[in-house]
Amino acid sequence: MKYSEFFIPTVKDIPSDAEIISHKLMIKAGMIKQSSAGIYSWLPLGFKVLKNIEQIVREEQNNAGANEMLMPTIQSSDLWVKSGRYDDYGKEMLRIKDRSGREMLYGPTNEELITDIFQTYITSYKELPKNLYHIQWKFRDEVRPRFGVMRGREFLMKDNYSFDLNEETAKISYNKMFKAYIKTFLRMGLTPISLRAETGPIGGNLSHEFQILANTGESTLYYDKELESLDPESLDPEKLQSYYAAVDDEHDEAKCPIKKEDLKISKGIEVGHIFYFGTKYSQKLKAYVQDKNGKRIAVHMGSYGIGVSRLVGALIEANHDEKGIKWPMSVAPFKLSIINLMPDDQNCTTMASDYYSNFMAGNIDTLYDDRECSIGKKII
């Protein structure tokens, strides 16, 4: 991309709205523009990063055998009434009426829809296991959106859903995802810490949340130092899950099972959460399959979420210094930048243009600053 053709509205004076560093830097770099509380437009530079993150998430999902699809943002209320969550979700759910007065909603998550899709088509144990996902915008009408894109009301999330015949195979699916998550965050240059978590309103009895280390994170984590040096080649989910890790209000020094010298304390930001919740939704939404004996049984489900748009902010929280954002190469908006310091010099300009064409031909996403302006402006 030639800088002269790129829309990148950088600013010197940051709006006083922005409080945390990632939010400030994203505004300064011209990545996002707030549209209303917790709702943002993604300007070209921010959009590139968002897409890079999304692509890593996608590739690791596909590697783990999940099927990408796309479900709508607007859903009808009926499935939610069936699952019982139409009332449970309360004011966080944005409810809308269509022209004929039908009750609709902007989806905060997709368990109901996916379960309905599943039950329409899958009727035999022979078709299991299945794992379906999509990367789609969600809306949760938070009481208090904050921290820029890290806690927006509208956010991009990868969510997937596994379907298995029984608890035993469901746990295999669960661990596959667990492993995919660790790999995903490692590829982004982050340090993921997995913690056993409460299942909350989604229900179920097995759940992990994934935090990434960042000095500015909201949670304080206590964990085995081994978790900081994971090798993606030899990941063993069972072993990983056996390491100690807890958030501060669950950590009790007296009961901590590991030695003090093995314990690390850092700040973290939650970027992913996985759940195994058994047959909670499959029963209510009638997702049954027939087993070998012809008996109809409710499928065992899990759901798995990664906050894609939140990751953009979280990445910056984890990777910046006083000068600005330090992009990990895998998510950087450009891989290389060429700055022509002497645009009036024909040789220099020819050389810069040649380099630019060659890098682009070699598939190296390059930003070429071809503007005729003073040096300082280009380098900052």
Partner RNA sequence: CGGGGAGUAGCGCAGCCUGGUAGCGCACCUGGUUUGGGACCAGGGGGUCGAAGGUUCGAAUCCUUUCUCCCCGACCA
Q: Could you tell me which stretch among 14-22, 54-62, 64-72, 327-335 binds RNA (CB under 7 A)?
A: 14-22
Residue 357 CB, shortest distance to RNA, in Å, is 21
Helix axes 21-28, 308-318, angle to 10 degrees: 100
In this complex, which beta carbon is closest to RNA, that of residue 32 or of residue 132?
32
With CB under 7 A as the contact rule, the residue among 172, 265, 364, 373 that binds RNA is 373
Q: CA 196 to CA 106: how far, in whole Å?
A: 30
**152 is a site residue for RNA (CB under 7 A):** yes
With CB under 7 A as the contact rule, the residue among 143, 254, 329, 361 that binds RNA is 143
Instruction: Kindly write out the interface string for residues 17-46 of this chain, putting x where it contacts RNA by CB under 7 A and - elsewhere.
Output: x-x--------x-----x-xxx--------
In this complex, which beta carbon is closest to RNA, that of residue 103 or of residue 218?
218
**85 is a site residue for RNA (CB under 7 A):** no
Beta pairing class for 336-339 and 300-307: unpaired
With CB under 7 A as the contact rule, the residue among 173, 184, 309, 340 that binds RNA is 309
DSSP string, 146-182: BTGGGB-SEEEEEEEEEEESSHHHHHHHHHHHHHHHH
**320 is a site residue for RNA (CB under 7 A):** no
Nearest residue to 141 (alpha-carbon basis) of 291, 37, 267, 295? 37
Residue 175 CB, shortest distance to RNA, in Å, is 19
Q: CA 182 to CA 163: how far, in whole Å?
A: 21
**204 is a site residue for RNA (CB under 7 A):** no
**344 is a site residue for RNA (CB under 7 A):** yes
**326 is a site residue for RNA (CB under 7 A):** no
User: What is the three-state SS of 255-288?
Assistant: HCCCCHHHEEEEEEEEEEEEEEEECHHHHHCCCE
Residue 231 CB, shortest distance to RNA, in Å, is 26
Q: CA 3 to CA 222: how far, in whole Å?
A: 44
DSSP string, 15-51: -TT--SHHHHHHHHTT-EEEEETTEEEE-HHHHHHHH
In this complex, which beta carbon is closest to RNA, that of residue 75 or of residue 309?
309
Backbone angles phi, psi at 174, to 5 degrees: -60, -45
**379 is a site residue for RNA (CB under 7 A):** yes
With CB under 7 A as the contact rule, the residue among 48, 85, 171, 273 that binds RNA is 273
Q: Could you tell me which stretch among 4-12, 42-50, 64-72, 353-361 binds RNA (CB under 7 A)?
A: 4-12
**103 is a site residue for RNA (CB under 7 A):** no
Beta-ladder partners of 76? 104
Residue 207 CB, shortest distance to RNA, in Å, is 10
- For the chain, percent helix, then strand, then coil, each to nearest 5? 35, 30, 35
**13 is a site residue for RNA (CB under 7 A):** yes
In this complex, which beta carbon is closest to RNA, that of residue 129 or of residue 152?
152
Contacting residues for 258 by C-beta, under 8 A, at least 6 apart? 224, 244
Q: Check if the beta carbon of residue 63 is closer than 8 Å to that of residue 180.
A: yes
CA angle 174, 175, 180 (to 5 degrees): 100
Q: Could you tell me which stretch among 76-84, 116-124, 139-147, 252-260 binds RNA (CB under 7 A)?
A: 139-147
Q: Could you tell me which stretch among 111-119, 177-185, 195-203, 361-369 binds RNA (CB under 7 A)?
A: 195-203
**375 is a site residue for RNA (CB under 7 A):** yes
Residue 153 CB, shortest distance to RNA, in Å, is 7
In this complex, which beta carbon is closest to RNA, that of residue 14 or of residue 172?
14
**151 is a site residue for RNA (CB under 7 A):** yes
Contacting residues for 169 by C-beta, under 8 A, at least 6 apart? 128, 129, 300
Interface residues toward RNA, by CB under 7 A:
10-17, 19, 28, 34, 36-38, 140, 142-147, 150-153, 155, 157, 200-202, 209, 218, 270, 273, 305, 307, 309-310, 341-342, 344, 372-377, 379-380
